[in-house]
Chains A and B, each alone.
Chain A
Amino acid sequence: MLMEVKNQIKVMFLSLKYNIMKQMINKVTFITNIVFMILNNASFIVQWIILFSLKDNIGGYTINQVVLLWGLASSTYRYISYIVQ
């Protein structure tokens, strides 16, 4: 049972490793993807800055809390989508 779990984890890490290697075949594309993904996720900050300039808090949330939540949610989403792909 434990051996099976160990093997599955090993396969998971191997898959992760080869997926990253596959993505890195073309370095320019890989780096562009990362930079633009950061820009893509960060762009939502603008939305919150404008909304919070109209009201101090929305439903009890301040801008710092919303930005932290947004950052956590978008990074988690991306990590999971990379692992699953």
Chain B
Amino acid sequence: MRKYLYIYKATLIENLSYIANILLGFINFFIMIFVFVNLWQYIYSDSSQIINGYTMEQMIWYVLTTEVLWYGSKNKVLLQEISNDIKTGNIAYNINKPYNYVFYILSKHLGEITIKLILYIIVGILIGLCFIGPIQNFNFINVPFILLTLILGVLINSILRIIISTISFWIEDSTPFHWVYDKMILILGTLFPIEMFPDFLKPIIKCTPIFVVTYGPAKLLIDFSMQNFTQIIIAQLIYLVVSILIVAFLFSKGVKKLNVNGG
């Protein structure tokens, strides 16, 4: 465990030297938030209107939170590094090193996104406070619960992305699968809460990663209840265990295939 912590710390320190890169990424974030703030303000012609149980302030805070999660946890390590390692054959060297490759990638990825995510959270809160004002009925006592679901959400998202990247063992390029996953999270998970979807889709979406990765933490932030928290945390723990089992299975299968092909 200590070596992974060391990898995490080393990547984190390395990333501190590239803060300017992260700051440049905010331009995209600002544009996206600006568009959606205006769009929701236009749709809520009356600011006291409630659409599917959400006030305008809640809706904008929801979009802001999910966008922070989406932008803050996006990173090239999971999108390209695993795929490239498999394509170029580097994976054959990496799996012989004295660490578990999946844990190595996960530690590196978490090291890369920690600073980014913290900065996005700070900027997101500032934008929210400036454009919309504070969240109604927000209680600081709930922050540890929200943070826990947020951390688990980021972790599950990372493991799911590793699962997608391992597809490269069978199909040369896993990028198209990342596109579809990205769009699923972006469109179904960040722009609208589950309540906005037709009734027949709601139970289906609740079973997808959207519920545990973006909807859960955002919903708790804007409308916290212990019942919601329990429901989300149970779903997250189930997702975490299942995704770890899948990644372990796929990776061992992939490595065997690699050995058969001669590395």
- In the assembled complex, the Cα of A47 lies from the Cα of B36 at a distance in Å of 12
For residue A21, give the distance in angstroms from its CB to the closest CB of chain B: 16
Contact A32 B188 (CB under 8 A): no
Contact A54 B171 (CB under 8 A): no
- B38 shortest CB reach to chain A, Å: 10
B23, chain A: closest CB distance, angstroms: 26
B191: which of A35, A40, A47 is its contact (CB, 8 Å)? A47
Main secondary structure of the interface of A (DSSP, over half): helix
Question: Complex: how many Å from CA A26 to CA B78?
Answer: 23
Minimum CB–CB distance from A16 to chain B (whole Å) comes to 20
Most buried by A among B43, B177, B179, B196: B179
Q: Is B172 an interface residue (CB 8 A)?
A: yes
In Å, the complex CA distance between A44 and B180 comes to: 11
Cβ of A80 under 8 Å from chain B: no
Structural contact, A54 and B180, CB atoms closer than 8 A = no
For window 164-219 of chain B, which residues contact chain A by CB distance below 8 Å?
A: 171-173, 175-177, 179-180, 182-184, 187-188, 191-192, 196-197
Check A40 against B39 for contact (C-beta < 8 Å).
no
Q: Is B51 an interface residue (CB 8 A)?
A: yes
Given A32-B176, A47-B191, answer yes or no on A40-B51 (Cβ-Cβ < 8 Å): no
A39 engages B180 (CB within 8 Å):
yes
Closest CB of chain B to A57's CB: distance in Å? 11
| Identity of the chain B residue whose Cβ is nearest the Cβ of A46 in the assembled complex | B187
Q: Is the CB of B43 within 8 A of A43?
A: no
CB-contact partner of A33 in B176, B182, B183, under 8 A = B176
Taking a contact as CB atoms under 8 Å apart, the answer to whether B179 and A40 are in contact is yes
Chain A interface residue count, Cβ-Cβ cutoff 8 angstroms:
20
Q: Which residue of A lies closest to B188 (CB)?
A: A46
> How far apart are the CA atoms of A32 and B171 in the complex, in Å?
9
CB <8 Å contact, A44 and B187: yes
Q: Does A77 contact B (CB under 8 A)?
A: no
Contact between A43 and B187 (Cβ–Cβ < 8 Å)? yes
Bound together, the chains give a CA A29 to CA B176 distance in angstroms of 9
The answer to whether B173 touches A58, judged by C-beta atoms less than 8 angstroms apart, is: no
- Check if A24 is an interface residue, CB within 8 A of chain B: no
Q: B residues within 8 A CB of A50?
A: 191-192, 196-197
Q: Contact: B39 with A58, CB < 8 Å?
A: yes
| Contact status A26-B172, CB under 8 Å | yes
Given A29-B173, A36-B177, A43-B183, the answer on whether A51 and B188 have CB atoms closer than 8 Å is no
Contact of B42 among A29, A39, A44, A59 (CB under 8 A): A59
- CB-CB under 8 A from B196, the residues of chain A are 50
List A residues at the B interface (Cβ < 8 Å). 26, 28-29, 32-33, 35-37, 39-40, 43-44, 46-47, 50-51, 54-55, 58-59
Interface residues of B (CB under 8 A from A): 39, 42-43, 51, 171-173, 175-177, 179-180, 182-184, 187-188, 191-192, 196-197
8 contacts between A and B (CB under 8 A): A29-B172, A36-B180, A39-B183, A44-B183, A50-B196, A51-B39, A54-B51, A58-B43
